Structure 1
């Protein structure tokens, strides 16, 4: 009989099992959709709409979009208490965090995160 993942995890030493679980969480976190991110913060679409001062239907449309303005995405993440960073990765160079997009500097970002997000959300 083939061993299940749970069986294999139970056989691992506690320290190794914890490392595997942490790494699994990291991998899952890299692939979250906006909907998944909202749910991970225990927010409903209605709750998110209230934070963004928009309608629930707008949150639904926003979460289904594959193309967003950076300012819209930044507002969405900011409403949950996070910050948005844009990183450019190249095969032959170190990663670069892009700044100054949409006229925001690091100082502006920290100020924006504390203020209420803009009402306009592209749809």
Structure 2
């Protein structure tokens, strides 16, 4: 079952924090307004990214035009570019917090629970969902 970013944010973040996240997203998008610009900055073609994702070029073109998609989709796209996607929450009174496993396609890939995939699946199956976090202080 896929979980959208909006669902995760609504369950775990205050409206103020969501607005701060949206503001930061807009700032980052000023650097690269589109996924297409990010891909081109890496000197990669849609065909290359499509091969890495196991999709056709036309699917990559459609993805690059979208403004809303699953975190797992964005994570896969970034990996196809040779990068890693990290979700970081910043508070004024706390060190940055990395949200681990959000948008992961496979629970076995969650960095802090490599031998506990089954218990993680059971934990994620319960409502409300809780995110595992760790500090990057």
Name the TM tier (shorter chain).
Answer: 0.5 to 0.7
1:31 equivalent to 2:31? Answer: yes
More helix by share: 1
Consecutive aligned runs of 4 or more in structure 1 exceeding 4 Å deviation: 27-30
Unaligned regions of 5+ residues in structure 1, if any? 1-26, 110-123
TM-aligned CA distance change 1:69 to 1:28, over 3 Å: closer
TM-aligned CA distance change 1:93 to 1:70, over 3 Å: same
Unaligned regions of 5+ residues in structure 2, if any? 1-26, 115-137
Q: How large is the Cα RMSD of the aligned pairs?
A: 2.7
TM-score norm. by structure 1 comes to 0.56
State how many pairs are aligned: 83
Give the corresponding residue for 1:82: 83
**Largest Rg, 1 or 2:** 1
**For the residues of structure 2 that align with 1:106 and 1:30, how far apart are their CA atoms?**
30
Quote the offset at 1:90 in angstroms.
2.4
Give the corresponding residue for 1:62: 63
TM-score norm. by structure 2 comes to 0.51
1:106 equivalent to 2:106? Answer: no
**For the residues of structure 2 that align with 1:108 and 1:83, how far apart are their CA atoms?**
18
Alignment of 1:10-25 (within 5 A): none
Deviations 1:17-68 (A, max 9, x none): xxxxxxxxxx989722211111011111122112212111111111111111
